[in-house]
Structure 1
Amino acid sequence: MKENKYDNSVFFEKYSEMPRSKYGLSAAGEWEALKRILPEIKDKEVLDLGCGYGWHCKYFADKGASKVIGIDISTKMLELANLKNKASNISYSCIAMEDIDFKDESFDIIFSSLAIHYIKDFDFLVNKIYKLLKKGGNFIFSVEHPIFTAHGSQNWIYNEQGEIEYFPVDNYYYEGKRETNFLGENVTKYHRTLTTYLSTLISNGFKIKNVVEPMPSEKLLNEVLGMKEELRRPMMLIVSVEK
């Protein structure tokens, strides 16, 4: 059964207090790096998998996309997307990304932000995405970095004085389910190696264009408490490929 933690009222309330929930892309540490590798958007048809509040959908719409479809499994997410980030060229649908069912070669760009690590079968999803893209189309996605997901706890190890000592990395090559604590709630995610991410894309016919381990922008490093700790280990991975 597909997990939909974001429709849990307690979890969603906590998520809504995160800076990226309140302030959008400007508060997302990876956004500046991600934005630099996006393809030309004007007059393109775009699909956003796991669109959440719709911040990226609105960005694509504002950049002149002819059509933007945002899908998410969470009705709560989509309610806010329709309030915060609506536009005449955006439509939102409540559907799990594994269940997408559009005609082949429907999109110029397929995008996903920090959602694919919730998906069990990456190969199945990539195969679908390849079919949905037009020739020359682009798939761009961000996920939690394999170093970040390997151990499962996704938290620093602290010394007796409460200071950060290090970030744990263990069981890296043992792929699969990880039960982790996110915002005080138990959440299921899936760990896979960097090799698996890239080789799966290649074996499905994609050409790798960019692989980025984003660092927070100078602005966030200077303005957000604790952000400099994010330079001690990669938290996210961004990949862009072309059909």
Structure 2
Amino acid sequence: MVLDVGVGIGRIAKSIVNEGYQYFIGIDISTKILDIVGSNLCTCSNIELVMADINDFIPTDTFDLTCSVLTSLHIEEKEKALRIIFHSLEDNRLFVLSVSKDDDWFDYGSRKVKLHPIELEEYVCIFLSTGFQIQSLQ
């Protein structure tokens, strides 16, 4: 079972579902985004889309793989989120995190969104204090 934190419009989700995982759960805080990803993945029967903030999501020992692509920029309480993700994984399973070093604000033109970027070294410290073992940094 796979969890995608900040599923967005489903580009990563579609790839994961096509890889043959039995079940996929995508969470996002935006109902608008979940409607879009639902349309993009409407032919898939093994997915569940949930409106949730990772800091309020509580499954434990459930997932074989969790991924989060560029979502951590939007998460202010990163250590809490990573602790929840760590406990949601079955023993010795994988978490794939993709991050970017951006400014403090993302400008959409009509609106600006506050971001919460941190340095790679801070991620490493949080990962290790949370219990993760780091296999690769790229």
**TM-score higher than 0.5 here?**
yes
Aligned residues: 136
2:58 to 101, 104, 119: 101
Report the Cα distance in structure 1 between the residues aligned to 2:131 and 2:29, rounded to whole angstroms.
27
Conserved 8 A contact 1:55-1:85: no
Report the AA paired with residue 123 of structure 1: E
**What does the per-residue CA deviation read over 1:46-103, in whole Å, with 9 as the maximum and x for residues that have no partner?**
000000112211211111001100011111111111111231111111111211121x
Q: Give yes or no for contact 2:4–2:25 (8 Å, CA) kept in 1.
A: yes
Structure 2 residues without counterparts, runs of 5 or longer: none
1:89 aligns with 2:15: no
Query: Does the 8 A contact of 1:50 with 1:112 survive in 2?
Result: yes
On the 8 A contact 1:53/1:81 being kept in 2, the answer is yes
CA distance in 1, matches of 2:97, 2:22: 20
* Structure 1 consecutive aligned stretches of length 4 or more whose deviation exceeds 2 Å: none
Counterparts of 1:191 and 1:57 in 2: how far apart (Å)?
24
CA contact (8 A) 2:61 2:88 kept: yes
| Aligned mate of 2:84, from 98, 107, 128 | 128
Residue 64 in structure 1 maps to residue 20 in structure 2: yes
Measure, in 1, the Cα distance between the counterparts of 2:112 and 2:58: 30
RMSD across aligned C-alpha pairs, in angstroms?
Answer: 1.2
**TM-score when normalising by structure 2:** 0.93
Q: Which has the larger radius of gyration?
A: 1
User: For the residues of structure 2 that align with 1:126 and 1:97, how far apart are their CA atoms?
Assistant: 9
SS of aligned partner of 2:126 = helix
Q: Following superposition of structure 1 onto structure 2, how do residues 50-199 of structure 1 map, counting pairs within 5 Å?
A: 50-86=6-42, 87-102=44-59, 104-145=60-101, 149=102, 152=103, 178=104, 180-184=105-109, 185-199=111-125
In 2, the alpha carbon distance for the partners of 1:126 and 1:80 equals: 26
Provide structure 1 residue ranges, at least 5 long, that are not aligned to the other structure.
Answer: 1-44, 153-177, 213-243
2 CA distance for matches of 1:120 and 1:207?
22
- Residue aligned with 2:21, SS: coil
TM-score normalised by L of structure 1: 0.54
1:163 counterpart residue number: none
**Structure 1, residues 147-166: CA drift from partner, whole Å, max 9, x if none?**
xx3xx3xxxxxxxxxxxxxx
Q: Which has the higher contact order (CA 8 A, sep 6+)?
A: 2
- Measured in 1, the distance between the counterparts of 2:31 and 2:130 equals 31
